[in-house]
Amino acid sequence: MDSSGIMIKEILTITMTLFAVIDIFGSIPIVLDLREKFGKIESLKATLISFFIMVLFLFTGERALSFLGIDVSSFSIAGGLILFFMGLELVLGLTFFKSEPDTEGSSIVPLAFPLIAGPGSLTTIISFNSLYPFWTILIGIILNLIVVYITLKFSDRLSKVLGKNGMMVLRKVFGIICLAIAIKMIKFNLFL
């Protein structure tokens, strides 16, 4: 295989892995819940902030965590706990994340971080850094964030198509999936 074929294969591997980790389609119920709580979500702002966080982690992630005395496992467990509480919100209808009057707040926390650029994607980027060239990782991040932006921008249309009952079922199902991913992240990193 020539070098361009290898690069394309690497980009596809990075893109598909990040796509699975970010799971923006699985996060649609959370996005709609945030939109309902805050009134609006700034899709472009959330996407750009996620891009900035991911690229920053691409350059400095492992060193920054090490400097702070935090290992990657502890970082993943903290992210797992956040996902766990977000899953509980969806399944049980509880509210753990305080709704603040600033409607712009939902674009950054918890949307850009930790939902899009969360511990899973940041840890994945750190591990990719030792396996793939910088440019292939950057292209994989950009491709994922294009899908993220489109999904955020049109999530309300999906809500209209599914209706109130369909969205309620979707929230419960993805809440359980979110809980399962959180438990898996915590369990895996506790026993490293």
Which single residue is written with the structure tokens 């992630």?
61
Write down the pLDDT at residue 124.
83
Evaluate the CA torsion angle 4, 8, 13, 15 in order and state its sign. positive
Spatial CA neighbour of 21 closest among 155, 103, 107, 127 = 127
Q: Which are the contacts of 182, defined by CB distance < 8 A and separation ≥ 6?
A: 80, 81, 82, 83, 84, 87
Task: Give the model confidence (pLDDT) of 11-45 as tens digits.
Answer: 998 998 888 778 787 777 778 778 877 778 889 99
In this prediction, residue 115 carries a pLDDT of 82
**Contact criterion met (CB below 8 Å) for 136 and 7:** yes
Q: How many Cβ atoms sit within 10 Å of the Cβ of residue 181?
A: 18
Q: Residue 182 pLDDT > 90, yes or no?
A: no
The three-point CA angle 73-75-80 to 5° equals: 90
pLDDT of residue 101: 42
Q: Give the domain ranges of the chain.
A: 3-19+41-190
Whole-model pTM: value is 0.72
pLDDT in tens, 83-124: 788 778 878 877 776 545 445 556 777 788 878 998 778 888
User: Identity (one letter) of the amino acid at 9?
Assistant: K
